[in-house]
Amino acid sequence: MAGWLSRTTSLFQKPPPPPPEPFEVECDCGSKVVGQRGGNYQKPACPNCSRPVFVLPLNVYPRPLPKSPPKSTSPTKGGESKGTQAPTNTVVQDIPALNPTKPASGKKPDAGRTAPAAIPAEPELLREPRSPLFTPLRLVAAAILLVSLLTIRGLMDRQRIESAKATVAASADKGMAAIKEGDFATAAKELEKARLAVDLLGRKDQTADDIRRNSREATAIANLAASSLTEFLEETLANAKPGQSEPLRMASLDKNAWVLFDATVIPTGEGGNLLTVDSPVFLKSASVEIEIDSAVISQFARLAESGENPRVIFAAQLEQVSAPVGEPPKSVLTLNGKTAFLWTSYDTYAAIGYRPHDPESEQQTKALLERQLEIR
């Protein structure tokens, strides 16, 4: 009765607090954080790097009871153990060959009698041999695939060539007609298509060269600078800062814009292909000289018949403008000599308003363009 009462009373009593449980957690930096677990999780700081380390709280669930060890069995008479019964292998006992230690007749085995042969082990499965990488069937399939791809490529190239042949004449005629009408954007687009077609065909004849030259000139006309050279230089020099050494910032519309020049070129005397265009621009803020480093223009200047500096008609892209230096201030406009080219067509030259006013000047201009046509 007293035991029952004590067990019932213990149910209403507060359980004793759990024993303290230490922890040891490794931080990412390699240091270890130690302490005692509490009822809630903790984030103690690492003593080395001061970063917080997460620590779980105490386990609120009861720990499992340890398993009881198996009961030991003591052997009894008759070869049986207490509480258990030794299993018997009736098959082995009934077959004497499999139980050589115990003779079938109860007698000891003869000394001269050989032991029974051991049961042969199960043979290992042989690995299936690998098939060769290159078999006749695979080689034939690869050859068929290669021939098919080459055939498709040949058909595609033939189609491109036939399409290019049809494009050359049609686009060239449309481009030249657009130049006469003053539609230079359409002319540049159509002549560029004709140029790509003759390049694809690999043509080197006179007609192909004319298409390339007309395409180049139409592209330059369609992308001429929106403002005059004087207006462009005034706007660019207005951005100059005192003591500035790097090139001046150009307006986005003027970057890589084309300009057509009809002027005399003067070798600088420094060697190479550097030339000065004899067309300086004088502004209120500074005077501007124009320079270009072009092999094709330098070649034409060296072939001039007279000893004077030659007149040249060429197109070039604006590249950069240097900050004014010196007193009086002087700036340099540099043209892109890599893309510059000699003008050769009088029709495109006159189409943009550069037609000479008198017949004599017109004949001189035509003669100059014909001489420039000889420079490839």
Is the preceding omega at residue 328 within 30 degrees of 0, hence cis? Answer: yes
193 is a domain residue: no
Tokens coding 88: 């018997």
Instruction: Give the chain's domain count.
Output: 2
Question: How many Cβ atoms sit within 10 Å of the Cβ of residue 128?
Answer: 6
Amino acid at position 251, single letter:
A
C-alpha to C-alpha distance for 212 and 199, rounded to whole angstroms: 9
50 is a domain residue: yes
- Whole-model pTM: value is 0.57
Amino acid at position 232, single letter:
F
Structural domain span for residue 321: 229-342
160 is a domain residue: no
286 is a domain residue: yes
Q: Apex CA 363: angle with CA 304 and CA 298, to 5°? A: 25
Helix (H) or strand (E) holding 312: strand 311-321
Q: Apex CA 320: angle with CA 328 and CA 311, to 5°? A: 80
Amino acid at position 282, single letter:
F
362 is a domain residue: no
pLDDT in tens, the chain (376 residues): 556 666 666 666 666 666 778 888 889 888 888 888 887 888 899 988 988 988 888 777 766 766 766 665 555 444 444 444 444 444 444 444 444 444 444 445 455 555 556 666 666 666 667 777 778 888 899 999 999 999 998 888 888 888 888 888 899 999 989 988 889 999 999 999 999 999 988 888 889 999 999 999 999 999 998 888 898 898 888 888 888 888 888 876 677 899 999 999 998 876 688 999 998 899 988 999 999 999 999 988 888 766 678 899 999 999 999 999 888 899 999 999 999 999 998 988 888 888 888 889 999 999 999 999 888 6
109 is a domain residue: no
264 is a domain residue: yes
245 is a domain residue: yes
Question: How many Cβ atoms sit within 10 Å of the Cβ of residue 32?
Answer: 13
